[in-house]
Amino acid sequence: MKVKVGINGVGRIGRSFLRAVLAAKAPVEIVAMNDLASIEQIAHLLKYDTVLGPNPHEIRIEGNVLHIGHMSVRTSQQRDITQLPWGEVGADVIVESTGIFTDAAKAAGHLQSGARKVLIAAPATGEDITIVYGVNHQKYDGNKHHIISNASCTTNCLAPMVKVLHDGIGIESGWITTIHAFTQDQNLQDGFHKDLRRARAAANNIVPTKTGAAKAIGLIVPELSGKLDGYSVRVPIITGSLVDFVVVLTRPATAQDVNDLFKAAAQGELKNVLRYTEDEIVSSDIVTNPASCIFDAGLTKFIGASSLKVMGWYDNEWGFSNRLIDVVQLL
């Protein structure tokens, strides 16, 4: 039986999620979506995409319904989410991808509109649980978890790396630097922004900025709360990012030990979430890779016996969208 889903916010992640559902042939049916953009604008951006290329599925408009592939999706342009037609169209789970309703108290408006669950496609505040699929999704309790955060794309890449290292060896502390593609939160040209570094032209600068990905690990792996931190460095590419994770381990190990752990996890309990490669790849090689993390074994390095650096690639849009599919089916 297919899960019926509504999307609020048809931006980069909303559209990527929709296309990922079609590509994965997942048992998910998108029945409605809401965005202030017109149906004509939405149709155009679903048909043509700079990263994903032309959409292989036929797209046509019929009134306020967008037909795409096998799905007929009702569209609306409603600012007040308590007035959305989720109950009327039978939308069971709402993917909240506007970036606006990340506070659970605000996102609860979707429940008032008839939805059963809300999945916030971003870090959230006040949520019932933050889920990183493959790492802590077993903790989901349908009786008490109704507003769920899917964390960030970076946390989804980092958390499997943390799990493999902490379960297999033990982590004392760690620092991450995510070398991250620029996003819509940045400016195309220099302009006003509350973060003065993000105020600068995204396509012409390397931009150091904040990330909450490392601290968010405490929500996923509670025993590591307060033991990880990090920065983001935004770079002038449109998608494809890399987590550089420096770790102090609780006991000595070797690069071979570490790589063996990741290879086993990628073939076992984290299959499809974590991938393992020994190829000398670059960022464009992982665009449209559906995994949360592509572990790059050739970059594993030690200083001494317990100070470790590991690196994992991720498509910050497509990988994250595929985890949204996994969590939607879980709910």
- Encode pLDDT of 65-98 as tens digits: 999 999 999 999 999 999 999 999 999 999 999 9
Q: Does 329 reside within a domain? A: no
Assessment of whether the complete model's pTM goes beyond 0.75 = yes
- Residue 119 and residue 159 in one domain: no
Structural domain boundaries enclosing 79 = 3-127
CATH code, 73: 3.40.50.720
- CATH number of the domain encompassing residue 277: 3.30.360.10
Which tokens is 95 given? Answer: 């993917």
62 sits in which H/E element: strand 59-62
Give the pair of three-digit tokens for residue 297: 């074994």
Q: Which of 227, 256, 231, 240 is nearest to 291 (CA)?
A: 240
pLDDT of residue 212: 85
pLDDT by residue (tens digit) across 312-321? 999 999 999 9
The pLDDT value recorded for residue 253 is: 96
Are the C-beta atoms of 125 and 144 separated by less than 8 Å?
no
pLDDT above 90: residue 26: no
Mean pLDDT calculated for residue range 41-51: 97
For residue 39, the model assigns a pLDDT of 97
Interatomic CA distance for residues 102 and 81, integer angstroms: 13
Active site members = 153
Assess whether 276 and 204 both reside in one domain. yes
Q: Is residue 325 part of a domain?
A: no
